[in-house]
Each structure stands twice: as structure tokens, then as C-alpha cells.
Amino acid sequence: MDILFSTSEAVPFCKTGGLGDVCGSLPVELSRQGHQITLVLPAFRQVFHSGQTIQPTGVEFEVPIGRKMVPGRFLKSFLPASKVPVYLVDQPDYFDRGELYGEDGGGYIDNCERFTFFARAVIEAITAFDLQPAIVHANDWTSGLVPVYLKTELQGVPPFDSIGSVFTIHNLAYQGNFWHWDMELTGIDWKYFNWRQMEFFGNLSFLKSAIAFADVITTVSPSYAQEIQSPPLSCGLEGILRYRRDDLHGIINGVDYSDWNPASDPHLGDHQYDHVSYPVGKAACKQELQRLLGLPIRAEVPLIASVGRLAEQKGFDLLAEVMPHWLQHVNAQWVVLGTGDAKYHGLLSDLAARFPEKIAVKLEFSNELAHQIEAGADMFVMPSRYEPCGLNQLYSLKYGTVPVVRSTGGLADTITDCTEQSLAERTASGFSFEPYTTVALEEALQRARSAFANPVIWQQLIQNGMQQDWSWASSARQYDQLYARTLSLSAGT
Ligand code: ADP
């Protein structure tokens, strides 16, 4: 089947979070399974610094944005080690900027215009390159207008009227909501600006619009697909999500093991390891990481890691309360790699200054260090308030780093709490807790620390995790079935 992916992130071109990992790897697996996949991606500044070969196509275009015509051109590349073409939408005024979506904690003021342009460019790509997609698979609010154009302006217009649309929600909290007058920028008829379709509490919402118009909606874990149908995780969209619940599916994200595998990870130097050789390899990685971070080199002290966006979503308000106490009283080391809210930057820097022997804080985005942390840490903590899927816990399993997670969304779907029963069944893979409280988090961390002190239990946890298979193969097959269902649905509309 011919499938066109519309996304604003794809590894290795550009990434701020899980969206980039997913859209860089799922298309490759789908193509391996026999589909013809094409990606369309904004040519952000990061794309040009990604080290990928980028070629001109000679194709230029112009699309209406409000009353003006805005020019753009397509560049071309490929997803590495694949035949998946990537068309890059080049428009320097919109995309040649320091960040992808905004700076200093806020979105760029013209985000509506930027991603209206992007959606129109995705549609342009179809005719410019004579693509014949059966399905357009759009991801997150930044591609939200793609299914809308297909079902409004392009309804009844060949070849667009026979294209089915799938929309994936990677995080419902990022909605692309704009002032209602921005409808003018989209060129879409005002009749669609109503509470069932594009209007959301008086604003224009790209995310709600996509949910309203896509043939099929997916999100990135079965639990999150349920959770977003009620407050608070519905973020105000429970009405439309319940209305569309028969078309809403949860498919867990897979891992790209060509990128995240301690047996072949180039970031680990000579210390690569697998589920047999980990006692030596992982110990060496831990030593190397402690050296790199300036922490005392101590094998017997558990090293607890966190990598990710420093946002409330990720449970940093809980960690901010638990960490000072642990740093003072508990014999454990911590490493935090992340960027995000200024308040957590301040708080973590302060802890690093007060407890240099116990915590290393890196306020940066470093893919290499993220890999080294997965390999060198003993535990990976994710006390998320909500988690659509979460990838770090899956990377942790593969690297023999035991996850300590809050049981929500994808974390609930992927981590089996360590209990007497799960140990007996050899399914235990981490530690999880439910109430969003510091007490519950501390209790889970304490259980993990006790298990760390018991080599028999700890080895089992490591081995259980390392032997699990969270590769894309099975999730890609679920997408495949959904694409078929989408075609039958869209044929009926
Ligand atoms: P989300 O998409 O909500 O940010 P995920 O767990 O799904 O969370 O994916 C996060 C991805 O981004 C992981 O691949 C993680 O390693 C990466 N990541 C996040 N912050 C950083 C950082 N500061 N440095 C390196 N990688 C990071």
C-alpha cells in the first residue's frame, strides 16, 4: 500500500521527543513489510545540520496563506538504511529558526501560519511528485490540517477524494490552539468553525480539527486511548474523543533496535553488551558514566537516571520533592539529562551544586549521553503524571536498566511491577506505583533499592527486561490492519 507520512519530526533529521523516534522508525518497518512509504517533513534548520545528504528536486510551489501566496520548494533525502524518500518542505522564513516550535517556553507567534503552510505543502507534494497514496498518515497537531483539507476543500476532487486519512495523537496536551481569526489563514470555510469540528472553546484547534476529520484516529498505547476519553487526561477533548471512540485505537510504539541496542551501540565504545555479557559490559558502562559525570566510581551504589523533557508531565514536581531528601539521606547516585521548564533547571542546578558527590545534572540535549546513561545507570525513573507511550522505559529494558514508573498510559502497558508473583512467573520488569504522590514514588524507589541489594532478584529483573521484544514488527502489523480498515471506512464516506 502507498502511504504518505506527514510529520514535523523524524530521526535523524530533527527531534524534540518521541514523535521524532516514531516517525523515523515506523516508516522503515512498514516499508520492510512491503508498503511504499513517503515522508513529508518541514526543512527545519536542524535538518540541515543532521549530517544527512539532502538534494534539490527542482520543484517549487506556491500556496495561499490568508490573502497572500507563499512560495516554497521541495528538497529530498531518504531515511537512513532504507528506500523511504523524505520530501523536505523548504521555506526559510518559517522553518530556518533556532527551535522547531518556539523558544523560551512559548510557541512561535506565527505557528498557525507555519503549520498551515506545511499542511498545504503536504498536499502539494502529492501532485508535484505524482504520489498515489491510499492513506495519508498525519501526526500530531503540526500536521492536523492535512486530514481537514482532504475532507473539506478537496472533498470530491480527484485524486484526493479517494485518499484515506489516519491521524496519530502522540500527546493530547499539545493542541495547536489559535485565535479564531486565524481561520482566515487556513482558507477553510467558516462553516467548519463549529463546536463539532474546528472550534474549541472559541479558538481554532488543529488537534481537534484533525480528530474531527480523520477517518481513523490512533494514539500510542491502548491505556492512553482509554484515559484520554475522560478528564483530566482528555484535556477538554473528551466530548469529541468519546464521539469518535469506535475509530480511536491505541497502538504501542516500537523501538528501533538498530539505534537502541547495547550490543551494537556505537556510543558505548568497547563496552557493548547483551543479555549474556551484561555483568561485565554494563558494569564497565556504569564506571565510564560515573567517570564522565564526575561522580564517585562505586559499583555498589545504585545509579538512578532520568532523561527527558523537564516538564510537569514527566513528574518533576514529585521528583523535586523526593530528590532533596534522598540526596541527603540515601546512599544512591542520580543523573538527570534534560531541558525544559526554567524552574526545574534552577532547582536541579541547585541540587547539583549542593550534592556534587551524589547528583550530576546535564541541562542539554545530547543523544550520545542519553545512550550512555541508558547503558550505565541501574534504574530509570519515570514518575509521569501521564505518558502517552514513553520510549525511555523501553530503551531501559533493552539496556538492563530497571524502570521505576508511574502506572499510567504506555508505562502501565509495558512495565510489569516486581512482586512475588511476577518474579515467580518471570515477568517482573520494573517497579510501578499508582497514586501521583511523593509517598508512592518513594515507596517504589525504596523497593527498587532493596531489590538492587539482592543479586538474585536484580539479575532476574535485568534479564527479563533485556529479553523482551518491543521492536516495531508487531506494532507495524497493527498499523497495517488499521490502514486496511481506514480504506474500507473512507470508501464508505
Ligand atoms: P516525549 O515524547 O514525551 O518527550 P518519550 O519518552 O516518548 O517522551 O521520548 C523522548 C525521547 O527524547 C527519547 O528518545 C529520549 O531519549 C529523548 N530525549 C528527551 N530529552 C532528551 C535530552 N535532553 N537529550 C537527549 N535525548 C533526549
Considering the domain architecture, whether residues 240 and 332 belong to the same structural domain is answered as no
Looking at residue 120, its pLDDT comes to 98
Residue 449 falls within a domain, yes or no? yes
The C-alpha cell at 240 is 469529541
If you measure from the C-alpha of residue 338 to the centroid of ligand 1, how many angstroms do you get, rounded to a whole number? Answer: 8
| Closest ligand 1 atom to Cα of 393 | 6
Considering the domain architecture, whether residues 379 and 481 belong to the same structural domain is answered as no
Q: Which domain holds residue 427?
A: 266-469
Residue 477 falls within a domain, yes or no? yes
Spatial neighbors of 142 by CB under 8 A, at least 6 apart, are: 7, 8, 101, 115, 118, 176, 206
CATH number, domain containing residue 313: 3.40.50.2000
Considering the domain architecture, whether residues 106 and 137 belong to the same structural domain is answered as yes
Looking at residue 489, its pLDDT comes to 79
Query: Measured from the CB, is residue 315 less than 6 Å from ligand 1?
Result: no
Query: Which parts of the chain sit beneath pLDDT 50?
Result: none
Cα(169)–Cα(444) distance, rounded to whole angstroms?
A: 30
Query: Measured from the CB, is residue 340 less than 6 Å from ligand 1?
Result: no
Interhelix angle 278-293/367-376, rounded to 10 degrees, is 130
**Are residues 414 and 393 in contact, defined by beta-carbon separation less than 8 angstroms?**
yes
Q: Which of 143, 135, 183 is nearest to 159 (CA)?
A: 135
Can you tell me which residue has the cell 510557541? 107
Considering the domain architecture, whether residues 438 and 323 belong to the same structural domain is answered as yes
Query: Measured from the CB, is residue 12 less than 6 Å from ligand 1?
Result: no
**Residues 217-230: tens digit of each pLDDT:** 999 999 999 999 99
Side chain identity, residue 284? A
Residue 205 falls within a domain, yes or no? yes
Considering the domain architecture, whether residues 249 and 377 belong to the same structural domain is answered as no
**Are residues 26 and 40 in contact, defined by beta-carbon separation less than 8 angstroms?**
no
Considering the domain architecture, whether residues 242 and 112 belong to the same structural domain is answered as yes
Residue 317 falls within a domain, yes or no? yes
Looking at residue 493, its pLDDT comes to 55
Looking at residue 104, its pLDDT comes to 80
**Residues 366-413: tens digit of each pLDDT:** 999 999 999 999 999 999 999 999 999 999 999 999 999 999 999 999
Considering the domain architecture, whether residues 460 and 477 belong to the same structural domain is answered as no
Query: Measured from the CB, is residue 366 less than 6 Å from ligand 1?
Result: yes
Residue 259 falls within a domain, yes or no? no
Considering the domain architecture, whether residues 247 and 270 belong to the same structural domain is answered as no
Query: Measured from the CB, is residue 302 less than 6 Å from ligand 1?
Result: no
Residue 128 falls within a domain, yes or no? yes
**Are residues 237 and 198 in contact, defined by beta-carbon separation less than 8 angstroms?**
no
Strands 55-65 and 36-42: unpaired
Residue 260 falls within a domain, yes or no? no
3-class SS letters over the chain: CEEEEECCCECCCECCCHHHHHHHHHHHHHHHCCCEEEEEEECCHHHHCCCCCCEEEEEEEEEEECCEEEEEEEEEEECCCCCCEEEEEECHHHHCCCCCCCCCCCCCCCHHHHHHHHHHHHHHHHHHCCCCCCEEEEECHHHCHHHHHHHCCCCCCCCHHHCEEEEEECCCCCCCEECHHHHHHHCCCHHHCCCCCCEECCEEEHHHHHHHHCCEEEECCHHHHHHCCCCCCCCCCHHHHHHCHHHEEECCCCECCCCCCCCCCHHHCCCCCCCCCHHHHHHHHHHHHHHHHCCCCCCCCCEEEEECCECHHHCHHHHHHHHHHHHHHCCCEEEEECCECHHHHHHHHHHHHHCCCCEEEECCCCHHHHHHHHHHCCEEEECCCCCCCCCHHHHHHHCCCEEEEECCHHHHHHCCECCHHHHHCCCCCEEEECCCCHHHHHHHHHHHHHHHCCHHHHHHHHHHHHCCCCEHHHHHHHHHHHHHHHHHHHHCC
| Closest ligand 1 atom to Cα of 367 | 25
Residue 48 falls within a domain, yes or no? yes
Looking at residue 105, its pLDDT comes to 77
Q: Which of 166, 92, 224 is nearest to 489 (CA)?
A: 166
In this prediction the pTM is 0.94
- CA-closest residue to ligand 1 atom 18: 308
Considering the domain architecture, whether residues 182 and 241 belong to the same structural domain is answered as yes
The domain tally of the chain equals 2
Considering the domain architecture, whether residues 151 and 294 belong to the same structural domain is answered as no
Query: Measured from the CB, is residue 259 less than 6 Å from ligand 1?
Result: no
- Cα 446 vs. chain centroid, distance in angstroms? 29
Considering the domain architecture, whether residues 130 and 209 belong to the same structural domain is answered as yes
Considering the domain architecture, whether residues 141 and 64 belong to the same structural domain is answered as yes
Spatial neighbors of 300 by CB under 8 A, at least 6 apart, are: none
- CA-closest residue to ligand 1 atom 9: 18
